[in-house]
Structure 1
Amino acid sequence: MFPLKDNIPTDRLPVVTLTLIALNVLVYLLLQRPGSILGDPDQQFIVDWGAIPYEFSHPGDQCGILGSQLVCDGPSVEVTGPPTVLTAFSSMFLHGGLLHLAGNMLFLWIFGNNVEDAMGRARFVAFYLLGGLAALGLQIAVGPDEIVPTVGASGAVAGVLGGYILLYPRARVVTLIFIVFFFTIIELPATLILGFWFFQQIAFGALDLTNPTGGGGGVAYFAHIGGFLFGLVAIRLFATRVKDLPFGGAKYPVY
């Protein structure tokens, strides 16, 4: 399922949402991947500016690349990154690949513009960043000794999704659905799409915990869960102008 657009118009230009998208894209193209779009991002840059749970749970210790390995607090590790606390914010603007970036920005655009419209620009900035911090906090709590950098806007975007599902429970989303070699476009309830996504993160996160060899494929599922829960809990504190729009009944496939 790939959401394409929702049916809630915005009253104001979503300046913050557009700015966040632009910043994420520019960081990826100019800093992570200078001079190239294809291929792997700069691993040294990700290690330096990504959020490494081990560094947060072991204050004073820092991680770096030694040879081809990522090690923490080793005698020969050259530390070139910023202070650990800064990486909690910088990691929200890094991505592991082009598809990772595109997926996060798609969700941020579809759902972020309405959440921004409901709370205003300054509040939305605070809500977005706090959602990212909450996401990282749960990821660290679950895996405090992990030395793999946590990167991506996913946690902060998950906070937006959690807020959206409470603000607009009757919203509908035009969604692209693939069925084997065929596809269709249909309007689905936002609660179905976002609810399915959230419980999928819980299921994958639980599977990751029970798999001793790690089955998450590098995905920080608990960051997604932490961000979404923050959005559910905090949205009423930030939203100041929620619309009560009359939505129609069930929709049928449009393609």
Structure 2
Amino acid sequence: MIPIGDNIPERHYPFVTYALIGFNVFFFFVELLQGPRLEAFLYRWGTVPAWVLNWRAQPEVLLTLFTSMFLHGGFAHLIGNMLYLNVYGKSLEGTIGSGRFLLFYMLSGLAGGVAHVLMNPESTVPAIGASGAISGVLGAYLVMFPRATVFLVVPLLLFFPIVALPAAFVLTWWFALQLVGGLTSAAFTQVGGGVAYWAHIGGFVAGLFLIGLFRPRRRRVPFRYYGVPDRRYWEYWNG
């Protein structure tokens, strides 16, 4: 299921969300320009768990926990992450503010990277992608907007119907899939690439708890979600 929107009113222009999307797209094209040097480039800027755990030998490898957030493994990887960031990031940024959102995003990505490193301590494959940070955004979205409605495209062979589902269901189901994938991958002794499930899990769990520190003090004011004219929901607004 591919998210394309939600029914949360946009409160202000999501500068940071769009800037992050722009940076991710820019650095993806930087990757494409590497040509035969791409592998060395990814090892230089991606997160290699075994190297990070041995950071005392090369302290600069700790920086890769942040730089790896802006690299992707292909067009599908990039587009999928940016769709999620666009839908969920805009709503979260509009609620907690742009500055808070940027710091929250980076901390969630750091948590996701650390989780991946700890769960794959012997891996020498560079992990890349914004998934850990975006997973944190999903966790925060679940806390902030559990009764929101998310609009998704469901690819069915030649048909692409759009469905509207409760955010609580969509995000809980998404996290369950990551948890199953993470536990399944942990049952094998392989040291290689693939989906960084534990980065997703670590980022999501971090988002669930970190959002309590970033949520601004606001009074509760009822308003109607866009697209759900018969449902009122209590949301935090500046008062």
- Residue number among 93, 102, 105 corresponding to 1:125 in the alignment: 102
Q: What is the TM-score normalised by the length of structure 2?
A: 0.87
Partner of 1:92: 69
Letter matched to residue 218 of structure 1 = G
Question: Compared with structure 1, are the counterparts of its residues 87 and 174 closer, same or farther at alpha carbon in structure 2 (3 Å cutoff)?
Answer: same
Q: Which moved more, 1:3-12 or 1:18-27?
A: 3-12
Residue 61 of structure 1, CA deviation: 4.5
Question: Compared with structure 1, are the counterparts of its residues 32 and 195 closer, same or farther at alpha carbon in structure 2 (3 Å cutoff)?
Answer: same
Question: Compared with structure 1, are the counterparts of its residues 144 and 217 closer, same or farther at alpha carbon in structure 2 (3 Å cutoff)?
Answer: closer
Letter matched to residue 141 of structure 2 = Y
Structure-1 separation of matches of 2:89 and 2:155: 24
Corresponding residue pairs, total = 226
Q: What is the TM-score normalised by the length of structure 1?
A: 0.82
Structure-2 separation of matches of 1:189 and 1:41: 44
1:158–1:227 Cα contact (<8 Å) kept: yes
In structure 1, runs of 5+ residues without a counterpart are 63-81, 251-255
1:41–1:97 Cα contact (<8 Å) kept: no
Alignment of 1:75-86 (within 5 A): 83-86=60-63
- Residue number among 173, 176, 195 corresponding to 1:219 in the alignment: 195
Letter matched to residue 185 of structure 2 = D
Letter matched to residue 158 of structure 1 = S
- Residue number among 224, 227, 235 corresponding to 1:246 in the alignment: 224
Partner of 1:57: 53
Residue 212 of structure 1, CA deviation: 3.4
Letter matched to residue 246 of structure 1 = R
In structure 2, runs of 5+ residues without a counterpart are 232-239
Alignment of 1:1-255 (within 5 A): 1-29=1-29, 31-34=30-33, 42-61=38-57, 83-213=60-190, 218-240=194-216, 244-247=222-225, 248=228
Letter matched to residue 198 of structure 2 = F
Question: Compared with structure 1, are the counterparts of its residues 149 and 232 closer, same or farther at alpha carbon in structure 2 (3 Å cutoff)?
Answer: same
Residue 32 of structure 1, CA deviation: 0.5
Structure-2 separation of matches of 1:113 and 1:243: 20
Question: Compared with structure 1, are the counterparts of its residues 213 and 145 closer, same or farther at alpha carbon in structure 2 (3 Å cutoff)?
Answer: closer
Structure-1 separation of matches of 2:62 and 2:28: 21
Question: Compared with structure 1, are the counterparts of its residues 244 and 33 closer, same or farther at alpha carbon in structure 2 (3 Å cutoff)?
Answer: farther
Which portions of structure 1, spanning 4 or more consecutive aligned residues, are displaced by more than 4 angstroms? 241-244
Letter matched to residue 209 of structure 1 = A
Q: Which of the two has greater helix per residue?
A: 2
